[in-house]
Chains A and B, each alone.
Chain A
Amino acid sequence: MSGWDVSDADMPNIPGSQRADVPELPDGALDALLTGDLVTDEACAGLQPAAALLAALNAAPQGGELAGHARALTEFRRRGGMPVHARRSAHRRRRLLTSLTAKAAAAAAAVAAAVLGGVAAAAYTGTLPAPAQQFAHGVIGAPSPQPSHRPGTPRPSHRPGTPQATPARTGAVGPDATGPAASGLCTAYAHAKAHGKASQKAVAFRNLAAAAGGAAKIAAYCTAVPHPGSSQSSQPASALTHPAGHAASHPTGKPSSHPTPHPAGRPSSAPTTH
């Protein structure tokens, strides 16, 4: 046990054999649950019902979860002592970041639209929101789903990007699901697919599926969206992250020219000590 495990004292673990009857879960089985794939390992097949819960656990940010921004920013402003070398290049950096920030904000807006569009995500998993609601009903006594919200009955009127999906509290403008934000989602997924961990892939996939209107529509969706770098000649952020000639092929997810950015020294299958 580590030195700071005081929380374990607050909530005592159930004593007894920790691994007598349950084997280690292969990392791939959790990955499958997170990406919405079927768990193929026979010993883990019983875990499938947990997939909807994990999806809810990992749902995109919700209003209250972004409420502490002002407090954090105040702290950030208060921090002093910017390094000397930093001041010299700060101006150049800021120029890069202006574009970079806009790009990320657009992606964030698309994600917000996707989550507010909820039903699109439901179309992807085939489970939310009604089963989640059913689950909430079972676990915390929330009202059971309304009859009109059956599983697998998406309400197509709430598409991402429609006016009613605009989150007023974030101050974001209506996300343009066909613009740079869409490209960002496609790029994020392509990147996560190539280099990310399964959980990152799952998040990127869910966001993208939500924006595209379903998992099956992703390919067509990403083919259709223009890349933000393709229409403008001068884009510092684009130049920073998409070397020449690379941008056009990126959204389709062919990462052959990417070096693998994983930190060295991590064994792909960890030794087990028990």
Chain B
Amino acid sequence: MIGEDFPAVLAAARQGDEGAFTILWRDGNPALLRYLKVIAPESAEDVTAETWVTVVRGLDRFRGGEDAWRAWLFTTARRRAVDAGRRRSRRPESPAAEVGEGHWPEVADTADQVLENLATRAAIAAVASLPPLQAEVIMLRVVAGLDTEAVAQLVGRSPGAVRVAVHRGLRRLAQMMTEAGVTR
């Protein structure tokens, strides 16, 4: 989250300032990638890149604050993921489908970093194992940081249905954690 600097950062990025764009990108890209690893695991990196292409081209037309910005980012990501899904279904034997899980390059990580990478990946894998709606709304609420109403709009469900799906998903995750022997 960028916070109170967001309007100035956005304005500068819109005028071509690369530093400002980098702030937006660094803030949004990890969350986009994690979200897409859940809803489009076979092509998360490509779809993330395509999402930024769309966002960059639409930058001049975007209006709104940081909440609206994030909602737009993730709405765009979702659409690009659907496009990618359509492309894949036309070419089901695509070898590119092999790329994905566990494909993040790791460079000179400390031991702690490796553990944290592993924990994050395991957490993403756990969420991805949930039924799709539960997995998606949890990623949108937790990682994208969208509120229930924004998530409801994005996935085309009622806020009540989103809260139920979050609850169901969290119950399963809590259960998985218990079964994995994690105690607090």
Contacts and interface: CB of A to CB of B under 8 A. Distances in A.
Nearest to A132: B119
Contacts of A196: 1, 3
A123 to B, nearest CB: 12
Contacts of A14: 131
A23 B167 contact: yes
B156 A133 contact: no
Interface in B11-54: 11-12, 14-23, 25-26, 29-30, 33-34, 39-40, 45, 48-49, 52-53
Chain A interface, DSSP helix/strand/loop, else mixed: helix
B17 A199 contact: no
B107 A24 contact: no
A23 B164 contact: yes
A51 B20 contact: no
Contacts of A164: 110
Nearest to A82: B16
Interface residues on A, range: 35 or more
Interface in A142-162: 142, 151, 158
A83 B11 CA distance: 12
Given A65-B104, A199-B141, A50 B86 contact: no
A272 B8 contact: no
Given A7-B81, A116-B113, A66 B26 contact: yes
B140 to A, nearest CB: 10
A54 B138 CA distance: 9
Given A5-B156, A197-B145, A266-B149, A57 B123 contact: yes
Given A23-B167, A97-B8, A140 B179 contact: no
Interface in A43-62: 44, 46-54, 56-62
Interface stretch (A73-81, A173-181, A217-225): A73-81
Contacts of B121: 136, 140
7 contacts: A53-B176, A63-B107, A72-B25, A127-B182, A139-B125, A188-B3, A203-B145
Interface of B: 1-5, 8-9, 11-12, 14-23, 25-26, 29-30, 33-34, 39-40, 45, 48-49, 52-53, 56-57, 59-60, 64-65, 67-68, 78-79, 81-82, 85-86, 89, 104-110, 112-113, 115-127, 131-133, 139, 141-143, 145, 147-149, 152, 155-156, 158-161, 163-168, 170-171, 173-184
Given A25-B164, A97-B8, 7 more contacts: A1-B156, A13-B131, A30-B170, A89-B15, A115-B113, A191-B3, A270-B159
